[in-house]
Amino acid sequence: GAHAIGECVMLIRDGRQDIMVAGGAEAPICLMGVGGFSAMRALATSFNDEPERASRPFDARRDGFVIAEGAGVLVLEELEHARRRGARVYAEVVGYAANCDAYHMTQPAPEGEGAAQCMALALADAGVRPDEVGYVNAHGTGTPYNDAAETRAIHKVFGAHAARVAVSSTKSMTGHLLGAAGTVEAAYTVLALMRGLVPPTINLDEPDPACDLDYVPHEARRLPLDAAVSNSFGFGGTNVSLVFRRAA
């Protein structure tokens, strides 16, 4: 989903399209989907009797992601084209980057090098300084490896400002939508910018010492925002970061 958004943005920037529809959908709750991720030991198992508590990104007791189904679609349009037809503009997509660190089939690079590079490239593409970003919608799967690596990546990119950035994982509430996650989470990021309301990371009861950022635990937070980042970091080391600005 996040790749689709980024590629559509590139086509619009290049003048090849005025308006495009970008989305992602996934329905993996089937024998092969659940069985495959279970065989990889990627799924949460410690809260099987309390499934509402199972998705717990950045928590010390996280042990995997909660598989989920869903879909999301965004309409992307060249700004002046949208204004001419009187369209409601929710936000601007101002930066996109994608890379692949190819570290491991299922684990991210432990120090977050690829993710950090991806965020830095997206910010450079957007012309946005790290200290202008108020919110990061984290990939935040709830796996032991991802959350610590993503935290390190955010530290690398944002430096001293990392402590002042609100970071949350909406997967704590939706589970992992796989191919739909990037688009749905982009929509959450846009809504956070529009409404000045950052979604929380629920189930963050015992923060992991390796995850030491402001993850907006338990409750949404009112926060005026001008720029935000949405991260999508998939298996095999494929990374996407999108940068959004609040609509003028």
Would you state the pLDDT for residue 133?
Answer: 99
What local confidence, expressed as pLDDT, does residue 104 receive?
86
Q: Label residue 245 by pLDDT band (50, 70, 90).
A: very high
Q: What is the pTM of this model?
A: 0.96
Residue spans per domain, the chain? 2-246
How many angstroms separate the Cα of 126 from the Cα of each of 107, 161, 209?
A: 28, 18, 32
Mean pLDDT of the 129-155 span: 98
pLDDT at 208 over 90: yes
Residue 237 binned pLDDT confidence (cut-offs 50, 70, 90): confident
Q: Strand pairing of 91-100 and 166-168?
A: unpaired
Rounded mean pLDDT, 136-155: 97
* Domain at 2-246, CATH from 3.40.47.10, 3.40.50.720, 3.30.470.20, 3.30.565.10: 3.40.47.10
Residues 97-123 as b or e (16 or more Cβ within 10 Å = b): bbbebebeeebbbeebbbbbbbbbbbb
Q: Is 119's pLDDT higher than 90?
A: yes
How much is the average pLDDT of 13-38? 97
